[in-house]
Structure 1
Amino acid sequence: MPTSPDPALLYSDVAACGSLATALRTEAEACLGAVPVTSPDSDPLLHATVTSTLPHREPLRISAWLHERRWSIRGEEAFQSLALIDGRTDDLAELARAARAWHDGALLDGIRRAAPFVHLTGRFEVPDRDPARLTESEWQSLRQEAGELEHAWQEAYQALIEAAHAEPALRALYPFTSHWALRFSTSTRPRLTVVGPCLAANSDGTYGVGRGIIGQDLGRFATAHEAVAAAVRHLPSGIGPIVLGG
């Protein structure tokens, strides 16, 4: 089995600084200024975090790749721990610009303008934790993710997500996926309350509806719209508004 290069060799400039946090500040001190950047004692060459002035943002996580010289970022919202931004780059200065924008509370689009490698996940920030807005944000992220997939069944999966979103009874529920099966909840993360059946796009272009993640005991259908209609028929009655799960 091939072994990973020694981080001290792959990131010799970082090693010379003693930590990724110090290397970032050395590379772009004018950009970062007094922004707090820290690296853990356990893996100082491979990881760093940058706090945000916004309480609804978790610290930005920066991680070095093991097999090639590159860094990844992940910026999450604090309530559900879901990514608002991610991305990868081999440019320390660009990394620092993204970190500064995250720390300063720049709008998500503004972070991407500051550092074009940043990828927006489609989720938007909901500082007041309004469950209806969190649900809308998650639908937006799912739809974007479906459009960005490069799998052979991407078109079928995207058609399923769009058909489900077009149905008011399902759009009102909080969506999530498990093993690429579309599921629904009456509460947001972090504590989901699963309701109704699962929907799946099959490799042969058909669509399945089932009670379990991989089951299709409620039927296989030729179109996404037929599958969605079947899912709606199997929703329990009396479902109320979405609530916070936590």
Structure 2
Amino acid sequence: MTPGPDTDDLAGIYPELGRSETLQSILQTAVHQAGHGLDVLPERAPGWWRSGARVDSDRRTTSVLLGIAERAFIVNFWERGVMMAKGTTTSLDAVVSAIGAWQSGATLARLKPACPFVDYSPLAEAHERGDAVEAQWASYRHTTARHVDHELIEAAYTQPQLRALFPFHSHRTLNFSRCTGFPHTHDIPVITPANGSYRVTWWHTRSPHGPADIGEADTPDDAVALVVAHLPHNCGPAAAGTAEDLDKTDNR
């Protein structure tokens, strides 16, 4: 994250801040005046101490950043590691209403009418319904994006063990996660198309020297077979939530 905006610039765009207030402080006051018993926290990145804030609960987070070129409250709505919705508005009151609705458990369908500046995707709706894995696979199978190797996607999709996991791309590398939220799990091999073949490796986090090679395959089917052969024990369907959530469950 880049450094936050200059103090003088913010004061000119956001009169509410004056010379010494922070987004956290003005949001906290506004949230309490609206009758919401919520605590507003500062943005985690030190450079954004004045222009960023968030509201956290066990499952949900609303984060707010100030635009630096023109007046804009940039709002992201998270649930269990997934950015479910986002929006930009010039109204502090609209931000407060959105925070109150989201943190109180509003569905996407209820959030939109109450806060028209908010938008969300079909994938977010799938996360809400509980079928994000199927929706993500469908998205990759039907996309025309050049970075997606469609033969590789189809080869992976034919394997029930992989089809039950959450697929995602990092650059051109196909990854599989045991959870649907971010951060994802990194204990499943990844596949990288390279010069007509397929390199299968562990994530770099499994090795201090970078990605640890498992093998190279000439075809998508052979690459997928290598992944299946190295799946963790009891690798079940992807669960809603984050890698941290899974760690808590696995350690019980």
Structure 1 residues 104 and 197: CA distance shift in structure 2, 3 A: closer
Q: Does 1:73 align with 2:75?
A: yes
Return the alpha-carbon distance in structure 2 between the equivalents of residues 104 and 66 of structure 1: 29
Residue 154 of structure 1 aligns to a residue in which SS?
A: coil
Residue 211 of structure 1 aligns to a residue in which SS?
A: strand
Q: Which amino acid aligns with 1:13?
A: E
Q: Which residue of 2 aligns with 1:15?
A: 18
Aligned 1:52-131 pairs, distance under 5 A: 52=57, 55-57=58-60, 59-78=61-80, 82-92=81-91, 93-116=93-116, 117-120=118-121, 122=124, 124=127
Deviation at residue 236 of structure 1 after TM alignment:
0.3
Q: Is the 8 A contact 1:48 1:61 kept in 2?
A: yes
Q: Is the 8 A contact 1:173 1:186 kept in 2?
A: yes
Q: Does 1:34 align with 2:36?
A: yes
Q: Is the 8 A contact 2:5 2:51 kept in 1?
A: no
Q: Does 1:154 align with 2:145?
A: yes
Identity %: 20
Return the alpha-carbon distance in structure 1 between the equivalents of residues 10 and 200 of structure 2: 47
Match of 2:198 among 193, 209, 216: 209
Q: Deviations over 1:109-160 (max 9, x none)?
A: 322332242334526259xxxxxx6xx5355357558989xxxx72552846
Question: What is the RMSD computed on CA atoms of the aligned residues?
Answer: 4.4
Residue 12 of structure 1 aligns to a residue in which SS?
A: coil
Deviation at residue 47 of structure 1 after TM alignment:
1.8
Q: Deviations over 1:44-76 (max 9, x none)?
A: 641222345xx322x311111333332322333
Residue-pair matches, total: 214
Match of 2:53 among 48, 51, 63: 48
Return the alpha-carbon distance in structure 2 between the equivalents of residues 68 and 181 of structure 1: 37
Match of 1:231 among 223, 235, 238: 223
Q: Is the 8 A contact 1:20 1:47 kept in 2?
A: yes
Q: Deviations over 1:214-244 (max 9, x none)?
A: 999423x6xxxxx3x3333322078634277
